[in-house]
Amino acid sequence: MASNGGSNGYSSGTGTEKINTDIISLTRFLTEEQAKHKEATGDFTLLCHALQFSFKSIAYYIRRATLINLTGLAGSSNITGDDQKKLDVIGNDLFVAAMRGSGRCRAVVSEEEDEIIYFDDSPNARYVVACDPIDGSSNLDAGVSVGTIFGVFKLPDSVIGRKPTAEDLLMPGSELLAAGFTMYGASAQLVITMKGGSVNGFTLDNALGEFILTHPDMRIPKKRAIYSVNEGNSMYWTDKTKAYFESLKYPKEEGGKPYSSRYIGSMVADAYRTLLYGGIFAYPADKKSPKGKLRILYECAPMAMVMENAGGNAVDSNMARMLDIKPATIHDRSGIFMGSPEEMDKVLEAHK
Ligand code: AHM
Ligand code: MG
């Protein structure tokens, strides 16, 4: 039997077939991370196990949606005025149930719920999770990639043991303990980062039922000539934003090449591509939506944390660091520009 694996090797096998026998699953990754923190109680690891279970369940229902009549509208709209899809409702229910069941979550803020959901049966739980269970759901019925975005906050000691108020939860992204997203595309891709840590990407192996570490220590390319924005809104943009995108399409330098445009319309998918390939993703505030479209707590802040920890940058439409923006309400919105550091320098320069 040929083997070039072993404890630090990567693969073993017979003949020409190489099989990875030293697989790093998310479960193993979390256990190893926990071991690095002597003070850890294991609560965060348990919360992450519940998170990954919700992603697996949502992935499962998205895959089967067309077959089991889950496409189309649920007949209601959420707090932010969007029509809810049946899968929006199911995704939200799966997510909330997983968080409740973890016993480690005190409250959830969800795009699909008007109010904060409290778990009073876990009165001493330290974590609060903000989420958009199925972001980009207008793409669902066409089978286009969508995703779940999440951010985990740790409540300060002063709040433990009492019911946190909305004000307690209105924290800027710089207070996030962990954040990330799962994209449901050709495969389910989970990207997670912790405060001050690296960004790691996992791919769901449907046969094993495990997220496998496939993209360790993700770093966003420093630059790339790709922009991603809903250009249909350009008549509402500010002059500076218009001028910035024009400069990408009509470069001033002699022989300069214009940027490519890529826009899926699911933030998770557009952000994931931007993370891998580089470039810029934007949803600017504009005359029609002066506060922007995307929500701070569960869309902008978690994505900004991923971008920063991968070596990128994220700002709001006033060019202020996205992670410093404190939402005024749980569903507060913001404009956002994020992506490769050198592309972001151009955004800042154009909006001076
Ligand atoms: P949703 O949370 O209701 O799905 O809306 C958020 C989505 C983002 O995924 C995406 O970036 C944006 O809305 C697309 O909006 P538009 O259709 O205006 O381009
Ligand atoms: Mg959504």
Q: Give the pLDDT band (50/70/90) at residue 9.
A: very low
- Domain residue ranges of the chain, discontinuous segments joined by +: 26-215, 226-350
Amino acid at 234: S
Domain 226-350, CATH: 3.40.190.80
The CA-to-CA distance between both ends of the chain, in Å, stands at 65
CB 57 within 8 A of CB 184: no
The whole model's pTM is what? 0.92
- From the CA of 233, the nearest ligand is 1
Indicate the SS3 state at residue 348.
helix
Which element (helix H / strand E) includes 272? helix 267-277
Which among 97, 271, 110 is positioned nearest to 183, based on CA atoms? 271
267 lines ligand 1 (CB under 6 A): yes
- So what's the pLDDT on residue 7? 42
Residues with CB under 5 A from ligand 2 (ion): 111, 132, 135
Nearest CA to ligand 1 atom 13: 136
Q: Give the pLDDT band (50/70/90) at residue 8.
A: very low
CB 145 within 8 A of CB 185: yes
Please state the rounded mean pLDDT for residues 188-208.
96
- From the CA of 335, the nearest ligand is 1
Nearest CA to ligand 1 atom 5: 136
Residues ≥6 apart with Cβ < 8 Å to 285: 291, 292, 316, 317, 334, 335
Nearest CA to ligand 1 atom 15: 265
Q: CATH classification of 26-215 is 3.30.540.10, yes or no?
A: yes
Residue 136 CA, ligand 1 centroid: distance in Å: 5
Q: Residue 292 pLDDT more than 50?
A: yes
Q: Give the pLDDT band (50/70/90) at residue 29.
A: very high
- Residue 282, both tokens: 């934007």
136 lines ligand 1 (CB under 6 A): yes
pLDDT in tens, 240-288: 999 999 999 999 988 899 999 999 999 999 999 999 999 999 999 999 9
